Structure 1
Amino acid sequence: MESQVNPQPDDAHIRISHEVYRELIRRNFSKRQRNIIDFILTLSWGCGRPGAVIPQLSHFTLCGVTKNNIRDELEALVAAKVISWEKTEGIFRFNKHWDQWQITPNKGHDPELMKDLIALNISRSSPEKVLKTRTQRFLKQELGGSQNKNFDGSEFLKQEPKSSQNKNYRVLKIRTATLKKTSRIKAFRLSKAIIKANIKKDLKSSCFKSLPSGAEKQDPTPDPFIQVLDVYCELHRKIDTQITMMDRQTIQELLGKGIPSDLICEVMGRVYADRTAKGQTIGSLSYYRNPVLEEWQRRQAPPKLQVVPSPARQQPAVQERHYGGIMSIEETNDWIAEQDRRRAIVEEAIRNGTYVIPEIPGISRRKPSAV
């Protein structure tokens, strides 16, 4: 079945930078959001204007977004800084500065693999162009060697089957179809192993400069806002378009105070685990605000100094215990046990008659005088 349309690259088109378009592919837009963006781009950049005038929100039904959902989707895109909306005049503008977008990337997107595929398609020739060229060359050769040179290609194809039935000649139409089928097999039916081999081969070509020895690929630094938003969405199983404006402002407030995104994510994970263990739920990102601020203040507070007594101060305390100072409980128990032991020895000596009164220096022992 032949098509009635045949658009060409040089026809009227929307001029979008490859960098912006690849970023649209990389970000995790919903189907409704992507339809809205394409609709705005068609009416703005496609018309040679920076903004699109859309007087009524019901006009977005043209791109498949109903009136019940369009306002929420537009406000979500405005909050994510993808578009701007002048509500009084109904003007929508697409933000080409994609580094300001607050939309999480697709989890399966690999920028290096994307570059490899782009390089592969740039370096190889188009199979359709090769197929068309070979087919035309074959037709020219057959028509040039035909005995009847007054017929053009179309008339020859139409009349050949009739004469072939009488003279049992091979039909050019059949051979042409066979040639197309063979070329299609060679051009398109490539196995996965061949495709992978071609990608590896193209990587070694001069499309990309080889990295110097010792150099390693470094992942780009993630946006702190996107990092916190991504962790919150993973904890609560949400998508970024479901995050309210208040929750986004809470993230911006915490980051504006200089709190690292890693600390915010750490506190969020700990608080979420504690609440989940207790069977409780968290309905808003604002619930994490106070725990994050408390943890940040605790880490910012200076450490408390511990006063360690010097050895010179410890010695008088030891001497004081020997000269009537306050003894500890263990020292008191040892002293009582020692006194009991001495008393038992004296009592045992008195009973046996072997007790001798100890002499005290300076005091002479006198025998009692007889009366």
Structure 2
Amino acid sequence: MANPQPSQFTRISNELYNAIMQTDFSKRQRNIIDLVIRMSYGCGKKTAILRPVDFELVGIYKTHIGRELDYLVQAKVLVMQGEQVALNKNYEEWRVSLVKNANQERFKALIKRNLGSYQNSNLKENFGEMEVTETVTKSYQNSNLEVTKTVTGQLPHPSDDKDSGTAERKVKDIKENIYTPPSPPIAIEDILARFPRYNNRQTDTLRNYWQMIGQAHKNRTIPPSIVAKEMDYWERFPAGIVMEAIEIHMRKYQSKQEDYTAGIMRRLVKEKGGSTNGTISQGHQTPTLDRSKFLWKGS
């Protein structure tokens, strides 16, 4: 029977871990990031030493790892130099969309709920006095300082309440106090507005393109999170390549989905003898994505 002990663990700041959880990485990308963290912070180092074959250990094979690593580097999530790979801890530089319902206020409320002493008699029976600890660690990323915040509470026994409904009312009050209304959905128009490099005519073309792509999906619609993720990926290409690929897709391949457009872009880059790092056209610079715009707060 497995019985892991806390004597050996991976030290990563809660702030950075929160950012990873609320970023819309694919399963493969998240596996890559987890391996990098385990082999760097988990080994007491800032960087990991990894070869392409090593990623097979987490289910990413050589047919996919090159493209995924290239994306994560271009998106400023990873930094690579030869076999040395590191996580860019400045998550504000990451050019990957947040998850659809990311909300800092709700996330903070969730942390507060789990840090507090929860009024639950079943926990009292199993654990007695409960001590909850949140550790904010500035380990290998900044320094060796460790700051610990401890909240200790005595869970009441059911017999201590003369009114049998008191405990239930307390739980209800806690839930009502920390509840935050759901975030409003992100509209495609809001996403288009985040990419100012496209002029009005190009934006109209993009709008028509996404309407066409929605019809190619099974439910005749496309989630805005996919729109944001794809347009983030397109930022590695010059705007001219993006629009040329979109027009080809709309003219010849109306039944294909959005991933087919990315393939057209890569083919166009190859034909023109450029690269996918935003430097095909002289002077083009990839704009930095403001991640805070992907974060909606409840009203």
State the TM-score, normalizing by the size of structure 1: 0.41
2:53 counterpart letter in structure 1? S
Answer yes or no: is 1:74 the counterpart of 2:50. Answer: no
Partner of 1:319: none
- 1:22 paired with 2:15, answer no
**1:104 maps to which of 76, 79, 97:** 97
Report what 2:236 is aligned to: 248
Give, in whole Å, the separation in 2 of the partners of 1:247 and 1:121. 39
Give the 3-state SS of the residue equivalent to 1:15 in structure 2.
Answer: coil
Aligned to 2:57: 62
Structure 1 residues 104 and 246 mapped into 2: Cα distance closer, same or farther (>3 Å)?
closer
Once the two structures are aligned, what percentage of the paired residues are identical?
24
Residues 32 and 65 in structure 1, CA contact (< 8 A), matched pair in contact too: yes
Q: Secondary structure at the match of 1:228?
A: coil
Q: Which structure 2 residue ranges, 5 or more long, are not aligned?
A: 130-166, 181-189, 197-202, 214-221, 255-260, 269-280, 282-299
Q: Deviations over 1:56-100 (max 9, x none)?
A: 31111111111211111111100100001112xx11011000000
Quick check: 2:96–2:232 contact (8 Å CA) kept in 1? no
Q: Distance in 1 between matches of 2:66 and 2:238?
A: 22
Could you say if the C-alpha distance between residues 243 and 78 of structure 1 is closer, same or farther in structure 2, counting changes exceeding 3 Å? farther
Shift, 1:113, TM fit: 1.7
Within the candidate set 1, 5, 9, 1:13 is matched to 9
Task: Supply the distance in 1 between the matched residues of 2:265 and 2:170 (Cα, whole angstroms).
Answer: 51
Alignment of 1:83 with 2:78, yes or no, is yes
Q: How is 1:255-274 mapped onto 2 (pairs within 5 angstroms)?
A: none
Deviation at 1:51, TM superposition (A): 0.6
User: When the two structures are aligned, how many residues end up with a matched partner?
Assistant: 194
Q: Tell me which residue corresponds to 1:46.
A: 42
Does the 8 Å contact 1:116/1:199 carry over to 2? no
Q: Is the 8 A contact 2:22 2:99 kept in 1?
A: yes
Q: Are 1:123 and 2:116 counterparts? A: yes
Q: d(CA) in 1 for partners of 2:234 and 2:113? A: 45
Q: Which has the higher contact order (CA 8 A, sep 6+)?
A: 2
Question: Counterpart in 2 of 1:228?
Answer: 195
CA distance in 2, matches of 1:249, 1:195: 52
Normalized per residue, the structure richer in helix is 1
1:132 corresponding residue in structure 2:
126
Residue 114 of structure 1: CA displacement?
Answer: 1.6
Structure with greater proportional strand content: 2
How big is the shift at 1:13? 1.5
Letter in structure 2 aligned against 1:112: E
CA gap 1:99/1:247 in 2 versus in 1, 3 angstroms: closer
| Within-5 A mapping of 1:348-359 | none
- 2-structure distance, mates of 1:194, 1:83: 45
Structure 1 gaps of 5+ residues are 136-189, 205-222, 254-267, 291-371
- Partners of 1:103 and 1:201 lie apart in 2 by 32
Does the 8 Å contact 1:28/1:105 carry over to 2?
A: yes
Q: Kindly state the Cα deviation for residue 4 of structure 1 after the two structures are TM-superposed.
A: 4.0
TM-score by length of 2: 0.50
Matches within 5 A, 1:180-199: 197-199=173-175
1:73, 1:226 → 2: CA distance?
A: 27
Q: Which has the larger radius of gyration?
A: 1
How far has the Cα of 1:228 moved from its partner?
2.8
Deviation sequence 1:275-323 (CA, Å, 0-9, x none): 95x778675499xxx9xxxxxxxxxxxxxxxxxxxxxxxxxxxxxxxxx
Q: CA deviation at 1:120?
A: 1.4
How well do the aligned residues superpose, as a CA RMSD in angstroms?
A: 5.0
